[in-house]
Structures are given as C-alpha cells and as structure tokens.
Structure 1
C-alpha cells in the first residue's frame, strides 16, 4: 500500500456464507489498536458492536458496503498505537456455537475515503473450517508510514483466544 500522504482509509471486511437449514453463525467484526508489543492499549482502544468509536475517534464503524466497514483516520491515531488489527469472530451467544465452516469468499480490503480500492486480500476458505475467529489483516506503522499486512489467521479458541494474544480484557 504505497500512497504517501494518505491519512484516511476505509477497511472493508466481507464474507459470504453457504445457506444451511440450521442457524448460520453470527459473525462479529472487531478492531484492536495495539502498542509496539502487540497488546491492546486499553479497552477504550477496541472498536466493535458495543463500542462503535475508539476513544480518540480515529477508528469508527462506518457502514456495510462490505459486510462491515471501519473508517480509520490515520492522522488521528495516537503515536503509541503501532498497529490496528482487524478480525471477525463467531458470537456463540447469538445463534449458538458455530465456526467459519460455512463461510466462503471472505476478504479484507483497504480503500480511500472515496472508496477507491487500494488493496484486497481474499482469505482461503479451506483453512478455516474449525476456526471460530479469524484475523483478517492489520494496518501497521513502518518508518513513519502506514502499511497493510494480510493475515487470514484462524483461531479455534474464538474471541477468548484472540483476547489472550492481544491482551484484551473480556
């Protein structure tokens, strides 16, 4: 993602699920603002359905042109934030236990504020059958600029596993 001077991006998270006769898994997007050690700065630095805007207003749920869109005003992100991690987890409280087994065509993309796509990563579905949370990708600081890294890393331990790795207090 080479775009000098870019200070506002939209991160789109999307997926399609195969219809089934039972209830589909409830997928929940989540963004975590992390320090240089990869840990959440605080619970005020999380963005999800119960907290739509980070404490500094740099990261905000913006819309659903993809499944979800998260606005990131890079110029407003505090200096102590080294990366912003974007993941989706299966919420067992809504429709019961589930996984990404029925999810196909999931992706993360980064676009300008005007929705001009800069980069897109399609996550291979074959590796996610037992996953209950997936880290789609991250924006990270590198020598004063922001870069994007696609990940597609699945967790079989759901939100609890991601929370443990990133120091999120549940």
Structure 2
C-alpha cells in the first residue's frame, strides 16, 4: 500500500495487471458536538477530456446511487462512504472521475470542515486490499465548505489515482462551476 501526498499519483492498472474493479473509500472523523454538526456529503463526478461533467447523469451521490452506465456505484460503508468503479464499464469519453465531499447546509445549517479532524481517501481492490491511501491535511479549513479528495484518471490505456485535497470556500456551487455541473 502506498501512502500519497497532495499532488502525487499512483499507477493502478499498470502496477496491478488485470485490475478492473476498485473500491474508493472516503472517510473522516468529526468532533462530536451538542449542537448541529456539519453534514458531509460525498459525490463522484465523471468528466470528459475537457475536465467537465459529461452530464448530470454522470454524477453519483445519495440521490443517484449509480451512474447512467452502471460503472460507478455507491456501496457499503466500511469507510464513511464507498464507491465501486468498474473500469471496463466506464465509457471511453470519461477521462477522469473526481471524488469530493461538501458540507450540505440544508441538513444542519451552514457549516465547514472545521469540525473534521482527519479525512482520507483510499483505493482498494474488490477484496479490500488497499492499493493507495491519501490522508488529507485538515489545517486551515475553517472556511472550507467543499473538498476534492482525489481522482481516478485515464493515462493512455491505464487508470491512475491522483491525491488532491483541494478545498473550496464556495461549497458545492464552486465545485459545480469548475466541473460544469448544473444544480
């Protein structure tokens, strides 16, 4: 298992011949509170070569658990959230799949990642053998309302993972603008 730093990438299929199915786990620990806590909601966005979402049917989140092509699916909860990716089912026009989470203000009011003390994204095989892990830095997140954890992306015929940890103070709206998602 490789532990990555922000900006680093790791070959998945190139170093694991025959790998066609991965589980992407997103997790975090939040400080317990007597009052409302931030409700963190994960998303996966399937993007084309321009870096934008192909369509809103290519989003996977709590209201749309499976992508239109069934290649990306929310599954169990070994981490806070787990997302299955079947590489052979991902359409050729998809060049990357972005994994992020945002603080949903509709559940418990405005919030930020300030109450989150640790967060990670990991990529594992279908039998839960961890291939890579990225522990996100949770410093200076008092105004961060959305965070891109990492991405799977095509490189020639292979799939790779890139650790990102990019925070947004503009929440879901900022991510939607950057990736062409219509809300």
- What TM bracket, shorter-length normalisation? over 0.9
Does 2:63 correspond to 1:50? Answer: yes
Moved over 2 A (4+): none
Q: Deviations over 1:5-62 (max 9, x none)?
A: 2100000000000112221100000000000110000000000000000000000001
1:125-136 equivalent positions in 2, closer than 5 A: 125-136=138-149
Does 2:171 correspond to 1:168? Answer: no
- Distance of 2:107 and 2:30 partners within structure 1: 16
Equivalent of residue 171 in structure 2, options 158, 162, 170: 158
Q: Which has the higher contact order (CA 8 A, sep 6+)?
A: 2
Equivalent of residue 83 in structure 1, options 69, 84, 96: 96
SS of the residue 1:127 aligns to: coil
- Distance of 1:3 and 1:46 partners within structure 2: 27
Structure 1: state its 5+ residue gaps.
none
Partner of 2:24: 11
Partner of 1:149: 162
Structure 2: state its 5+ residue gaps.
1-10
Partner of 2:85: 72
Partner of 2:130: 117
The Cα RMSD (Å) is: 0.7
Query: Normalising to structure 2: TM-score of the pair?
Result: 0.91
